[in-house]
Structure 1
């Protein structure tokens, strides 16, 4: 005796070795023995053989007309496969014919719903049409996906991909056939998605690819401000006193957000007064206003070679920036300084100041440098004022214990991009310009942080302990700067933390209620969000500087270059701030100068291949 039975949704046949009423021991045609439930048996037969039975049943099933069978069953609620076999064949069906009907019914789930052992029901006409349409759609999509993959694998971009390129590059829907085809083509070509799309001509600008990737993730709504008309962004402007000083700023040539300016006024007996003047957007940008919400969301200006994403709209920046030949609202810190360059008194004021000049690094560095200071040359604008500020800055460095700071010997790099051409210039960090500006900013941020702390007014401080920098609402020493407390207040147009601290300082100077209390959730949220955003923006700036370094290497056709070993196989290339691992580098001491061969620069992955040539 043989049986035709169902197991895990599959039809099988076997020869009965033992029948135990509720279960059977059967043997398949290939010799495997199994124990099955008696309820799983659909048919019992003697002939033909097991192999012939399944072969014949499948052959008969292949000749059956599924549509005709469905039409025959549409008037039935439920039916058994035996009944349908008898109706279809017009006689008492053989086991092979019944098995064939069962195979067809089981293989046509869109046409027939299974209702039990050997029992089925015809699908409603509407449901069947929908199922068939879905099946046809999947078939067409599968064909289309195959076509897409073939095109992509030969580096041809399907036209249908063009409207979806941004999504495919930055935020793909992995359920679409376009993504599935792209993924399959990447597997076949062993390329990443961006590299494959680049080879297909879908990435016209590698710079835009990196920039748009950043925007898509961190500025999904775009970088336009889309603000309602901002009115009254400056209050009490006309009522502010005008300072009797002539102030000047010192900035990079590309700076538009001029936050700080300085003045020097002679006093009696060789003493003088230094004015540190900071732009005052907090006078007009009120907490909770539309403009404030934008600044609180962006938290900082984003810098990258050739462009920037400002924290505040251009019109607001133009209003508050310390531009020359203008009267500008400012928060001023005045320091009375004796002839030995010690501070004898200080005072903070809210006022308007007259900016007489915006000095720029590229011009000023040729006039104000170690050589001109050593020779005591004074044939350039503000020479006397800058000389006094230089000597005061050196005194402050000594006071902070930083007179021999090794950071002053490090090299900074300036990037200039014009019409897709990159210029990278080296600048020693400890130039007189840098040291004057940084010392005056350190003094202002330290002093104003102290004033807030002494008055019991909440502020956001930066501290450093054991090399780790953190932000908090409590004043604490900043070991790296050598100061007792440090509260960013000097860049309120570029950093939201500075804008918050400036609001608190204005309240102190006006003897008004501060906008934020020490228990304010807004302070904690702003501090947390700022740290996260500032880290992301800094990482992006470094990534884009790395990109432009590679562009510079291509532009200058640099194939062999010098480099300095940092440690192990890590080296820094000459003339640019680019660090790379050289796998072929021998074991050399840090600081060793080597010569490298460069090749295979990849502007998508921002990588290049290097090969050690020699030790210099």
Structure 2
């Protein structure tokens, strides 16, 4: 005797060697002996094994599923009964097996209820299943058609509309992804290369921006604000008796800080550090505050920026020339020896006499004019000169003053009609040092005041070489201060916005928005730290691309660079670091020459070859790599 049985989802036959209630020993048609469960045996038969499955398959293929389904009725049935009714006589083993194969192979039509028992699917369920099957067939045809177009170098409209999503955040169940993935496999191209081949990458910076926005601004960069910032009635705040001025580049619209100077009767000088105060008009838990804690920072990149706050809010609180602006002021009393001897906080209106801009100011206020003083007059010359001397004293006070230190360059990017302009600026120029030292002073002192008042804030700390954020005052070794709480850019950074809210509460004697160990404050710290790092990373990627574009645009074939360590160098004249294989050992700061072998703007790749050291060039240690 032989058996027809099911194993691992397929039907097989074998010759019975022995059997028990629970199992059979059989010789398969391929000559192997196997042990099978009795529960898997569907029928026993005496006809030869060789042609059994072939004949059953042929009969099964000829059975009309719709007719078979109509024969079943609505009740559960045994396959033997259906086989007898379908064939019109007691079925042979082959005919019975054909019915079993047909029933088992059509799960949309027939539900399996047990060994040899089935039930016809309800009519509505069957119609839905068949419609789904037809839909999948049509979808696969569409996928195949799109994939063929992509492989041929054409971009289907439907795929093009979701191309950035496919490259950065694909839905692997979508038809567009399946077609794109199939085309990549057929063409042997990685996704980005295929997208470029079919014309989907018209602009590399637009492609980079699209990926960044998709990850960090999935709802777009626009603001949808139904409630404006609360208006501040001018008379509510006292008017400061100062003429303040700001120092920023021409593109700055979020003017957070301004300075003032006044000589006191005792011969000391009172320095005013005035910070824009949006927290005075943005209510706690308001829609605008939620925007601050959602965006967390302004995003900067060559040619554009994405502001943290809506433009109308920025314009309401920026320290604009000719206006009396709400501000949080830190007044520092300084002796003639440039020693700070007293600090005072005020919430007030500050008259902004001027918004000084880098491009014009640096022509008149620079190291050359400060040392030689050609007698040329310019706005706020006396105040700027005094503040520069004070800034040098503050730098010495922090233990960071070193006139011999090699200062790396800063770079300004401008993109005009697709052409990039990279303009170097010496870091540590008088106007830069002046502003940075006074902001370090304000951030350090305000951080100290919050700590002494027992009010938490958002601090930057550096110990053991690692910079991190904390809610309690800790030393920042790199800056040489006992604590450092970002507080001077509340229009641009959520950390500064939070600290300003805490400072205002401290000054007014009110309950702060965040108490010690506040879970919300820790959440803001975590989110801000992650977002700020991501935004800086995006800025670096965009600058890296525009450096590559500049090399191609200017036809530059070789460059000089400064060796940092191992295979890492810093290219001279642009803000770019590279890894160059095959570099010999040399002292840090050695100047070398590199040949540009290949640039791939799309993949943001550059390959350079070492040509040798620059003859006659002295080695130096870059300040930012020490």
Q: Structure 2-normalised TM-score? A: 0.90
Mapping of residues 181-200 of structure 1, within 5 Å: 181-200=179-198
Aligned to 1:259: 256
Mapping of residues 40-439 of structure 1, within 5 Å: 40-48=40-48, 50-71=49-70, 73-75=71-73, 77-230=75-228, 232-235=230-233, 237-267=234-264, 271-381=268-378, 382-404=380-402, 409-439=407-437
Contact 2:15 2:27 in 1 (8 A): yes
Tell me how far apart the structure 2 counterparts of residues 53 and 527 of structure 1 sit (CA, whole Å): 73
Q: Structure 1-normalised TM-score? A: 0.91
Find out whether 1:569 has 2:567 as its counterpart: yes
Aligned to 2:619: none
Q: Secondary structure of 1:36's partner?
A: strand
The two structures, once aligned, show a CA RMSD in angstroms of 2.7
Tell me how far apart the structure 1 counterparts of residues 596 and 430 of structure 2 sit (CA, whole Å): 36
Contact 2:229 2:282 in 1 (8 A): no
Contact 2:74 2:122 in 1 (8 A): no
Aligned to 1:11: 11
Aligned to 2:608: 610
Tell me how far apart the structure 1 counterparts of residues 561 and 534 of structure 2 sit (CA, whole Å): 29
Contact 1:17 1:24 in 2 (8 A): yes
Q: Secondary structure of 2:242's partner?
A: strand
Contact 1:408 1:428 in 2 (8 A): no
Contact 1:234 1:285 in 2 (8 A): no
Contact 2:243 2:260 in 1 (8 A): yes
Deviation for aligned residue 1:59: 2.5
Tell me, which stretches of 5 or more residues in structure 2 are unaligned? 615-626
**Which one of the candidate residues 543, 546, 553 is aligned to 1:545?**
543
Q: CA 1:92/1:567 → structure 2, altered by over 3 Å: closer, same or farther? A: same
Tell me how far apart the structure 1 counterparts of residues 119 and 510 of structure 2 sit (CA, whole Å): 82
Tell me how far apart the structure 2 counterparts of residues 433 and 142 of structure 1 sit (CA, whole Å): 65
Q: CA 1:428/1:103 → structure 2, altered by over 3 Å: closer, same or farther? A: same
Tell me how far apart the structure 2 counterparts of residues 386 and 109 of structure 1 sit (CA, whole Å): 85
- Residues 366-395 of structure 1: CA distance to partner in whole angstroms, max 9, x if unpaired? 222221112123413122222211111111
- Residues 101-127 of structure 1: CA distance to partner in whole angstroms, max 9, x if unpaired? 333333233333333333333333333
- Residues 176-229 of structure 1: CA distance to partner in whole angstroms, max 9, x if unpaired? 222122222223334333332222222333222222222222222222221124
Contact 1:408 1:430 in 2 (8 A): no
Q: Secondary structure of 1:188's partner?
A: helix
Tell me how far apart the structure 2 counterparts of residues 311 and 572 of structure 1 sit (CA, whole Å): 32
Contact 1:568 1:590 in 2 (8 A): no
Contact 1:74 1:123 in 2 (8 A): no
Deviation for aligned residue 1:92: 4.1
Tell me how far apart the structure 2 counterparts of residues 517 and 43 of structure 1 sit (CA, whole Å): 77
Tell me how far apart the structure 2 counterparts of residues 457 and 104 of structure 1 sit (CA, whole Å): 76
Deviation for aligned residue 1:256: 1.0
Tell me how far apart the structure 2 counterparts of residues 76 and 253 of structure 1 sit (CA, whole Å): 81
- Residues 419-445 of structure 1: CA distance to partner in whole angstroms, max 9, x if unpaired? 332211222212111111111111222
